[in-house]
């Protein structure tokens, strides 16, 4: 069994700034935490060149019929599940396109499943159960950079020719060796020693948000800075969809509602109808020809 020397990991070292955190006022405690949180975005900023490579890797995969799999254990796994689960309602994609896998399965989202993360074969098995192919991309997430479950998954991805990336919060991470692109975001000692649900978790969430949001923009799921592929599944989202149509096209509220209804609640179609002067069917056709990119479709129509 692998011998662990956690003391060498940046995430496991003692934070000298919080040695008295158990003896200060509530206000001082919160200020200590917030001061440390302020360092996270700077750490992420330094790694944007590598994050950009991951975005392009994922975009290429999804543009060519592949899927994105996040895989991790504990907090890292939960963050992957969270980011994946928010893609369908935000960007209108299927729940198959971006998937989050966590050691121990769905029950581990709410309650820790001890020991599963130490089994590399479980990571491989979970990807096999999702029929991973060479078109797909796997992103392994582990704050410590050494989770066997994640390493097993990344090794399997490499074995079948799938693209991969790793996200860790330590230098010289073990999972970096198994990934095509390795991101090591150094967030340093936690305010509570070893509690990587704090700064490391914050950094991971920021990065996952950046990856999927950027990829979805590149896939045409955003027009200007509006999430035009959202799924209007409740009253609030229906209202938001109609407001987007109004704001983007410049029509009044009643016209926006009329366009929304004529497009059967599909925001992009409604926008194309107004901006291009199309019927609903023609608007849908133009979007289909341009892979859902409104700006690309409009430019093409203008040229013609």
**Between vectors from CA 146 to CA 16 and to CA 37, what angle results, nearest 5°?**
35
Catalytic residue among 117, 122, 190, 274: 117
Q: Is 106 a catalytic residue?
A: no
Instruction: Give CA separation, 6 vs 18, 65, 107, 188, 227, in Å.
Output: 20, 40, 27, 13, 42
Contact residues for 250 (Cβ-Cβ < 8 A; gap 6+): none
Task: Please answer whether residues 166 and 182 qualify as being in contact, where contact means their C-beta atoms are separated by less than 8 angstroms.
Answer: yes
Task: Please answer whether residues 142 and 72 qualify as being in contact, where contact means their C-beta atoms are separated by less than 8 angstroms.
Answer: yes
Single out the residue of 141, 127, 151 nearest to residue 183, CA to CA: 141
Single out the residue of 143, 264, 253 nearest to residue 195, CA to CA: 143
Instruction: Determine the Cα–Cα distance for residues 234 and 44; give it in Å rounded to an integer.
Output: 35
Query: Which segments of the chain does DSSP mark as H helices, in order?
Result: 26-46, 48-63, 74-91, 107-110, 120-129, 148-160, 199-218, 235-249, 253-262, 267-276, 280-289, 294-303
What are the backbone angles phi and psi of residue 182, rounded to the nearest 5°?
-110, 125
Q: Is 63 a catalytic residue?
A: no
Residues assigned a catalytic role: 86, 117
């Amino acid at each position: 069994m692998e011998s662990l020397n956690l003391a060498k990991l940046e995430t496991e070292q003692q934070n000298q700034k919080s040695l008295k955190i158990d003896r200060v006022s509530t206000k001082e405690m919160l200020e200590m935490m917030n001061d440390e949180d302020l360092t996270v975005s700077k750490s992420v900023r330094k790694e944007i060149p590598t994050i950009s490579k991951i975005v392009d890797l994922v975009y290429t995969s999804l543009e060519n019929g592949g899927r994105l799999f996040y895989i991790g254990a504990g907090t890292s796994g939960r963050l992957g599940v969270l980011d994946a689960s928010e893609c369908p309602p935000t960007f209108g994609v299927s729940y198959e396109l971006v998937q989050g896998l966590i050691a121990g399965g769905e029950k581990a989202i709410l309650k820790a499943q001890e020991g599963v993360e130490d089994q590399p074969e479980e990571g491989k098995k979970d990807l096999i159960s999702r029929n991973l192919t060479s078109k797909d991309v796997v992103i392994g997430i582990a704050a410590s950079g050494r989770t066997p479950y994640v390493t097993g998954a990344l090794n399997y991805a490499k074995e079948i020719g799938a693209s991969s990336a790793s996200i860790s919060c330590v230098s010289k991470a073990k999972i970096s060796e198994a990934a095509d692109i390795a991101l090591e975001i150094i967030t340093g000692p936690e305010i509570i020693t070893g509690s990587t649900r704090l700064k490391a978790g914050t950094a991971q969430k920021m990065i996952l948000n950046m990856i999927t949001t950027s990829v979805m923009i590149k896939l045409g799921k955003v027009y200007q800075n509006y999430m035009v592929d959202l799924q209007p599944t409740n009253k609030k989202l229906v209202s938001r969809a109609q407001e987007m149509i109004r704001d983007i096209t410049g029509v009044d509220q009643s016209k926006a509602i009329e366009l929304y209804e004529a497009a059967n609640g599909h925001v992009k179609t409604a926008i194309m109808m107004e901006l291009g002067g199309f019927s609903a069917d023609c608007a849908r056709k133009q979007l289909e020809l341009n892979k859902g990119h409104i700006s690309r479709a409009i430019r093409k129509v203008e040229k013609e």
